[in-house]
Amino acid sequence: MTEERFDIFDEELRPIGTAPRSEVHAKGYWHRTFHCWIVRREDDRLFIRFQKRQAGKDSYPDCYDITVAGHLAAGETVRDAVREIEEEIGLAAAFEEIVPLGEYRGESIGEAGGTPFIDREVSHVFGWLCGAPLTRFRLQPEEVAGVYEADARRLIALFTREEASVEAAGLELAADGRMLPVRRAVTASDFVPRAPSYYAGIFRALCGHYLV
């Protein structure tokens, strides 16, 4: 199988070519990703939807994460990346339906499958208001183990250390492919490690946009 290639950038985010995925993460090249946080509104409350990464993922297995996220392949635009929504959770969104929330530059160092990595991402972050029930979601089983939702204001409090845990309601994939309802107490440390200000800032931006 041909390894996917990403556009790569220098520290000033000037394009410097393309490289295969393994080289991008081995050498720490800046590259672009797509983040889409899906939300549901109920009266004056907003619910943030988020996923759980599969246990077999080579990085951050079993961690809670952005509802939908993915890398931009070489030559792809952010508009093209909206395909990730349907690929990961089975719901189709037009690019015009999602709301830009800004860019986030993040760096992390870790190990994936026994191989060290340096991950430097410029993430294009979006929100999408979608009232479809979680039972409508069709999860990509090799990527996503479950999908959940929790009150946005309580999640903000979680990442500003005002709350130790928050209850989330969701659905998890069983071994036979069924989606089973669950309730989980989630903590900030259960999420993919990013600056708490990323999570709190995005959740505030979502509330500011959708609760006006």
Q: Considering only CA atoms, which of 212, 168, 195, 211 is closest in space to residue 67? A: 168
Report how far apart, in Å, the C-alpha atoms of 6 and of each of 19, 58, 121, 166, 179 are. Answer: 6, 18, 11, 36, 34
pLDDT value at 112 more than 90: no
Higher pLDDT, 150 or 117: 150
Q: Of all residues in the chain, what percent carry a pLDDT higher than 90? A: 90
The neighbouring-strand residues paired with 137 are none
Residue 121 pLDDT = 96
Report how far apart, in Å, the C-alpha atoms of 113 and of each of 73, 138, 209 are. Answer: 22, 27, 39
Predicted confidence (pLDDT) per residue in 3-32, tens digit: 899 999 999 999 999 999 999 999 999 999
Predicted confidence (pLDDT) per residue in 90-109, tens digit: 999 999 999 999 999 999 88
Residue 1 pLDDT = 65
Domains of the chain: residue spans and CATH: 5-210 (3.90.79.10)
Instruction: Record the pTM.
Output: 0.94
Read off the pLDDT of each residue in 113-139 and give the average, rounded to a whole number: 94
> What is the Rg, in whole angstroms, of the alpha carbon atoms belonging to the chain?
17
pLDDT value at 119 more than 70: yes
Read off the pLDDT of each residue in 130-139 and give the average, rounded to a whole number: 96
pLDDT value at 64 more than 90: yes
* CB atoms inside a 10 Å sphere around CB 82: 21
Read off the pLDDT of each residue in 175-182 and give the average, rounded to a whole number: 94
How does the average pLDDT of the chain come out, rounded? 95
Instruction: Answer for the pair 128, 97: CB distance below 8 angstroms, yes or no.
Output: yes
Q: Which of 58-62, 125-129, 174-178 has the highest mean pLDDT?
A: 125-129
